[in-house]
Amino acid sequence: MKRREFLSTTLAVAAAGLAPRSAGASNGLVEILIDEPVGTIAPELQGHFTEHIGEVVYNGIWVGENSKIPNVGGIRKALVDHMRQLHAPVIRWPGGCFADSYNWRDGVGPRSQRPVHTNFWDNDPQLCNAPDGPQKYDPNTFGTAEFMRFCQLCGAQPYLAANVRSLTPNDFDAWVEYCNSPAASTTLAQMRAGDGSRDPYNVTYWGIGNESWGCGGNFRPEEYAVEFRRFTSWVPDYGRKLRFIGSGPGADERDPQVSWTRGFMENLVGKSTHLFDRLYGFSMHYYCGGGDSLKFSSDDWYELMRQADVMDSLVSQHWTAMGEYDQERKVKLVVDEWGAWHQTTSLGPGYLFSSVPSLRDALVTALTLDIFNRHAEKLAMCNVAQLVNNINTLFLTREDRFVATPVFHAFDMYKSHQGGRSLRMVCDAPAISLGAGKALWGLAGSASLQGKTLVVTVVNPHISEPREADMSLRGGEAKSAQVTILTAPDIHASNGFDHADEVVPKTESAGISGSRFNWIFKPASVTKLEIDLA
């Protein structure tokens, strides 16, 4: 039963066997059904994405070994420390659109001998005033070995995007060999050793192109299906199960591109389904946003929440379309680009598509992570775009300055869900009217269970009104709890280089017990309850 059906009538709540709200007691209901698991929340649903775009890699991640900025082998130390705090599970690289213009061989071998090439994004008007540095002409200083060390330092798995538009399956096979062949076994293994790693990287996740319907080659779905078969046929695996991820649709609420999903699936398998054994995941991209990230009206606030909530229906639509062909459900959905994309903020000439996230973006991040949790059985991986100095970014850097944004704090709160068993959860609260027949739910969230620890996260999107809710744990009782709340007095609040702590979460004990209790969710807030069950 869909969440909106619960919001529409208390009869639906009663029909599901749940206690209706007590008239006058509160204005909301949150029910967690502990005995109704949805699926395991893979840690990879909280994955990340980096691309050679603007100042994501150079200045963001890579500062150089001789930099005065604290670094670990050239990689910004503050970034590594924060990624380890997040328990970052996986990082996607090198793109994005950059991936399908990238030759991995340019980024290996002695750094002083690596070629300098025009960056894919050089023709963007925003870079016209940028100096002729790595944002326009990539020196390939940060290549495969450097990215692998970054992942190792962060404790994350690498997810590499192969170039389908301008390289060949043979080039892809060679990249797999460079990364995964046993020590000293091949010439490429010896090259890897020269780059600092005698042992193989054991890369599991491989994206076969990126946005192949657009910047990745302008393919039709039937054409891309042919390329996917070519690139994934007889790839050396070196005793490791490789997980290939197909380039799926871009999506928005007007055109979710389900036709691409159906066209690819149909042309991939034809009359046989054995090729689904090669397709581990099928990607989807979705961005919401527009306008200024810091200057917005209350209507803009609610409209962005509504746009972000579209992710819920997009996941369901593409999952349904995939199931028309993959009836055994071998293939999972991968949302490897998502986030709020606003107008660029003036951070400097080398920054591209960068904006300063506010409290609003933290709520967008939280409600999206809740959507992923509720669809845990459908999803294998999700990668927020992007990690640093870009869209929906977790971090901002400028020279030696570093700040964690409200988006980072949302991820830090939600890491408690990683590896948990997603539970069915029902939220019922007065909807927010947006006019023109549109409405936004009053409360939404997700719940997960690990052992005797129940984690409940809830977003209250209302700018000024708290939501008091009767909370019910069906199948369990609370013994003790603590609560973490992310909010701010001003909905436009953000963290910047000179005000790094305007939007930070606060944690304290929560005096709740039993199977039913009352809770007040603050306006414009993300709340996490970590409950020890009796």
Q: Which residues are catalytic?
A: 211, 337
CA 321 to centroid of chain Cα atoms: 22
Place of tokens 């050089």: 122
Supply angle C-alpha 493, 498, 500, rounded to 5: 55
User: Furthest-apart CA pair in the chain: how many Å?
Assistant: 74
Cis peptide leading into 514, omega within 30 of 0?
no
Query: Which residues have C-beta within 8 Å of that of residue 488, sequence separation ≥ 6?
Result: 359, 502, 503, 524
Provide the b/e sequence for 479-507 (b: ≥16 CB within 10 Å): eebebbbbbbeebebbbeeeeeebbebee
Q: What are phi and psi of 434, to 5 degrees?
A: -110, 5
Q: Which of 53, 240, 61, 283 is nearest to 151 (CA)?
A: 61
Query: Which residues have C-beta within 8 Å of that of residue 122, sequence separation ≥ 6?
Result: 136, 137
Question: 322: which 2 tokens?
Answer: 């995939």
d(CA 9, CA 48) in angstroms, rounded, equals: 38
- C-beta of residue 116 within 8 angstroms of C-beta of residue 39: no
Q: Name residue 339's beta-bridge partners.
A: 287
Which three-class secondary structure state does DSSP give residue 323? helix
- C-beta of residue 224 within 8 angstroms of C-beta of residue 209: yes
Upper half-sphere CA count for residue 513 (Cβ side, 13 Å): 4
Q: Give the 3-state DSSP-derived string for 408-457, with helices as H, strands as E and coil as C.
A: HHHHHHHHHHCCCEEEEEEEECCCEEEECCEEECCCEEEEEEECCEEEEE
Q: Which of 272, 226, 218 is nearest to 246 (CA)?
A: 226
- C-beta of residue 373 within 8 angstroms of C-beta of residue 417: yes
DSSP assigned state of 209? -
